[in-house]
Amino acid sequence: MSPNPCLALLLDGPMQSWGFASRFTRRTTALHPTKSGICGLLAAALGYDKHSADEPAHVARLAALSCTTVTLPKKRGSAELPILRLSDYHTIGGGYEKGTDWMKKPRAASGAVLETVLSERHYLLDARFGVLLEGDADFLTEIATALENPRWGLWLGRKCCIPASPLGLGVFPSSTDALKSLLNRCGINEALTLKHFDHVLENPAETEIDAEWLTDAPVAFGAPIGERHAPRRIIQKRKVRNLKSEI
């Protein structure tokens, strides 16, 4: 854990979806929040216009924040809830022109057949995550203030994934203090540390053989497809199973 100023976010809602390779008809979700999804949420709160000339500079400031995500388990009674995956069969477009015979194949005014795009969209259920963002204290405070009165709507990866609670918990002197605040908000033992939870770190040491590259670092949300994201090196850490956690 770092002694740098840290903004704590709580991502909790009935559904979440964090796509990093979902441009086409099969839109999957990662099992943890993506950097682009988090930065997109913050950009919406701050009111950054993705069509403005200075949008890449704004996004670069957000992308430069050090990001750690933590899976915070939920309980029902004494049982810990598993994170489930929902697959939604989704259609876009198609239908019938007004006045056409519904028994016949629909046609648009131009005479072309109205095509329906079918897609499969994945969501996480019963998921709850903490996010620790480290960086300049003044910038973190600006973000925290924006989260209290966001310029645009905020969602957990997709527009249908509405947060169930306020997102920002405030800016803390260190990531250790920020994590304690997250645990307290979730009713989890504050004495626990990162090693008690599944978590994702970015920019791990070169000696970490389990590190991987994920193309989810935002560059500019208004850029053409293929130029919006850059690779980010991460490592997924699993909680130590033999620890008594008392969550």
* Tens digit of each residue's pLDDT, the chain (247 residues): 678 999 999 999 999 999 877 666 778 899 999 999 999 999 999 999 989 999 999 999 999 999 999 999 998 888 889 999 999 887 877 655 555 554 555 555 555 556 777 888 899 999 999 999 999 999 999 999 999 999 999 999 999 999 999 999 999 999 999 999 999 999 999 999 999 999 999 988 888 888 999 999 999 998 888 888 999 999 999 988 765 555 6
How crowded is residue 213: how many other Cβ atoms within 10 Å of its Cβ?
10
Residues listed for the chain: 247
Using alpha carbons, select from 47, 3, 50 the residue that is nearest to residue 145.
47
β-bridge mates for residue 107, sequence order: 113
* Cα–Cα dist 233/135, whole Å: 18
Domains of the chain: 6-85+124-237 (3.30.70.2660)
Q: Are 107 and 117 in contact (CB under 8 A)?
A: no
> Pseudo-torsion of CA 22, 27, 29, 34, nearest 10°?
30
pTM of the model: 0.85
